[in-house]
Chain A
Amino acid sequence: MTAHRPNTRRNATLALALAVACILPLVVTSPSHQNFLILILMFAQVGVAWNILGGYAGQVSLGHVAFFGIGAYTSTMLFIHAGISPWLGMLAGGLVSSCFAVAIGWPCFRLKGHYFSMATIAVAEILQVLFTNWESVGGAVGLNVPLAEQGWANMVFNTSKLPYYYIALGLLIVTLLANWAIERSFLGYYFRAIKDEPDAASSLGISLTRYKLVAIAISSFFTALGGSFYAQKELYIDPGSVLSTSLSIKMALVTILGGVGSLFGPVLGSTLLTSIEEVTRQAFGGSGMGTDLILYAAIIIVVAVYYPTGIVGWLRQIRRRYAKPEARG
């Protein structure tokens, strides 16, 4: 009975959260507020994707925007030149991104810790410069998603934000389910072993390179889905928006703030961070270039010093504090 209770409570919380998430955009009808909710879901989704590599396997990537951008460009290019529906383009983008990730990961995983992170920054920067100067993908001007018939088949909606909201929610749920499955399979154990003690992991027969590549392939796949979604939501992409460094940092930060290596950490992190950003953007207006970066820095410092386990860790602490007297009495 007591062993059951936390699970039941957890399931109830999840069901409630899902119900709220489904109903929320029907209550919040202003397009700008709906857009804000969509951003929360979108950054939660890429945060959850980032978490597979950065959180579970402990390989902190600060260049994940590369995968996001590849997803956005692949689906958009396929839509423009071959008329392929973004739904399929999204999957294609995921696969292209995974292949790219493995090709990049192969040399980069020879580097450890901070050196790996630095290499990922370089990869993303190179990609941004490359796309900015590559005329066939629009160069610095970017790409417009073609004016297609509005509707689910083309993932184009001009009159309402509502469908985008539910697509973002669906993507988040799919990514969470994938993470959940990984967490419970041998991969979850292997990733955490690699993160904690790589030498011990390899002494137990875990090929470090192979499983880091598995982690980056899965992580980049789901990150690319987020990129394709972003392209459809904005109907326009350019290197400055889908290959920007600050996006890489945000993916990592959402997760670090919420709780590294925890399933729902990025969801909480995205909710908080996106909200803070929205508030500062309104407070400082368009002139606030850079306020978000100052904010990122402040959050990183506070989390690193006081809450290295993020919001999830902090909530667990509180729960333990309140649960203790109960358990004794």
Chain B
Amino acid sequence: MSRLLVVENLGKRFGGLAANEAISFELQAGQIVGLIGPNGAGKTTLFNCIAGFYQPSEGTIHFLGKDITGHASAQMAHLGIARTFQIVRSFGSLTVLENVMVGAMLRNKGVGAARERALAALEFCGLAGRIAMTASNLTVAEQRRLELARALATEPKLLLLDEIMAGLTPSEVHEAVHLIKEIQLRGIACLIVEHVMEGIMPIADHMIVLDYGRKIAEGTPAEISRNPAVLAAYLGE
């Protein structure tokens, strides 16, 4: 297995507050890695550093062997890192199809080619019947899938998914899990921030647990669920 993403000693400080401190981990190509931790553990901050939305205060991020620390988010997308947002951010004045076309235009500026690719991504995410709708008219679950389709249309090597199962019904969670497995089969690695344990535990190859901005544990889902430090973080001493 080849190392896709290597995070070393990453730190992010907001004034006196250390949101991330000395975080190191690796992500292999094609792997699904779950990133969990209690509220305020620094998961989204870490995410934003990797996606280029925040400039890390210290440490390095390597992607495919290249130092990408501090690159802007648009550059990250060009390199092959795509993300979704915890609070969905669809382009409200565009249709579902046009939303995904914007993503597809990263690799090919032709409108016709982008349309083809967007249709394929929408089909893959089960939104083929919604293409003419305005994004704001979709259900929450559909909007999440729209974000996924849009990110996939950029043809990423690594997908950063920020709580895409939050607020979904059990059957919708089941569908989302299925979809992420399908994405993995296409050779795309996923780093997933998730609170919904029944969503992330069955599909993650590897888990990373954060608490108070630090990594407190990592391992397979089975190992994590037995780890005393993790149990303490979630349930209290």
Q: Which of A196-218 contact B (CB under 8 A)?
A: 196-197, 199-208
Once A192-B93, A204-B154, A261-B93 are accepted as A-B contacts, the answer to whether A199 and B53 lie under 8 Å apart by CB is yes
CB proximity of B94 to chain A, nearest CB, Å: 6
Task: Assess whether B91 is in contact with A192, with CB atoms less than 8 Å apart.
Answer: yes
User: Is the C-beta of B194 less than 8 angstroms from some C-beta in chain A?
Assistant: no
Residues of B within 8 A of A203 (CB): 51, 53, 73-74, 76-77, 82-83, 85, 151
Q: What separation, in Å, do the CA atoms of A185 and B198 have in the docked complex?
A: 43
Task: Assess whether A197 is in contact with B74, with CB atoms less than 8 Å apart.
Answer: no
Task: Assess whether B98 is in contact with A197, with CB atoms less than 8 Å apart.
Answer: no
Comparing B103-111, B163-171, B172-180, B229-237, the segment that makes contact with chain A is B103-111
User: Is the C-beta of A81 less than 8 angstroms from some C-beta in chain B?
Assistant: no
Bits for B74-112, please: 1 = Cβ < 8 Å to A, else 0: 101110001101000111111000100111011001110
Task: Assess whether A193 is in contact with B82, with CB atoms less than 8 Å apart.
Answer: no
Q: Which of B76, B94, B114, B154 contacts A193 (CB 8 A)?
A: B94
User: Is the C-beta of B6 less than 8 angstroms from some C-beta in chain A?
Assistant: no
Residues of B within 8 A of A202 (CB): 72-74, 77
Could you say which interface size class chain B belongs to? 20 to 34
Look across to chain A and name the residue whose beta carbon is closest to the beta carbon of B51.
Answer: A203
CB proximity of A52 to chain B, nearest CB, Å: 15
Residues of B within 8 A of A200 (CB): 85, 89-91, 147, 150
Task: Assess whether B89 is in contact with A204, with CB atoms less than 8 Å apart.
Answer: no
Q: What separation, in Å, do the CA atoms of A261 and B82 have in the docked complex?
A: 28
Q: Which of B124-151 contact A (CB under 8 A)?
A: 147, 150-151
Bits for B58-75, please: 1 = Cβ < 8 Å to A, else 0: 000000000000001110
Bits for A270-284, please: 1 = Cβ < 8 Å to B, else 0: 000000000000000
Once A193-B91, A195-B93, A199-B89 are accepted as A-B contacts, the answer to whether A204 and B106 lie under 8 Å apart by CB is yes
Residues of B within 8 A of A306 (CB): none
Task: Assess whether B73 is in contact with A189, with CB atoms less than 8 Å apart.
Answer: no
Q: What separation, in Å, do the CA atoms of A197 and B143 have in the docked complex?
A: 14
Task: Assess whether B114 is in contact with A204, with CB atoms less than 8 Å apart.
Answer: no
Residues of B within 8 A of A322 (CB): none
Residues of B within 8 A of A261 (CB): 93
CB proximity of B121 to chain A, nearest CB, Å: 12
Task: Assess whether B74 is in contact with A205, with CB atoms less than 8 Å apart.
Answer: yes
Residues of B within 8 A of A195 (CB): 93
Look across to chain B and name the residue whose beta carbon is closest to the beta carbon of A195.
Answer: B93
Residues of B within 8 A of A197 (CB): 89-92
Q: What separation, in Å, do the CA atoms of A190 and B77 have in the docked complex?
A: 15
Q: List 27 A-B contacts (CB under 8 A).
A: A186-B109, A186-B110, A186-B111, A186-B114, A189-B102, A189-B114, A192-B93, A196-B90, A196-B92, A196-B93, A197-B89, A197-B91, A200-B89, A200-B147, A201-B102, A202-B74, A202-B77, A203-B53, A203-B73, A203-B74, A203-B82, A203-B85, A205-B74, A205-B77, A206-B106, A207-B74, A261-B93
The 4 closest A-B pairs by CB, nearest first: A205-B77, A205-B106, A200-B89, A196-B91
| Given A190-B105, A197-B92, A205-B154, 13 more pairs with CB closer than 8 A | A186-B109, A186-B110, A189-B98, A190-B102, A195-B93, A199-B89, A200-B90, A203-B53, A203-B73, A203-B74, A204-B103, A205-B77, A206-B102
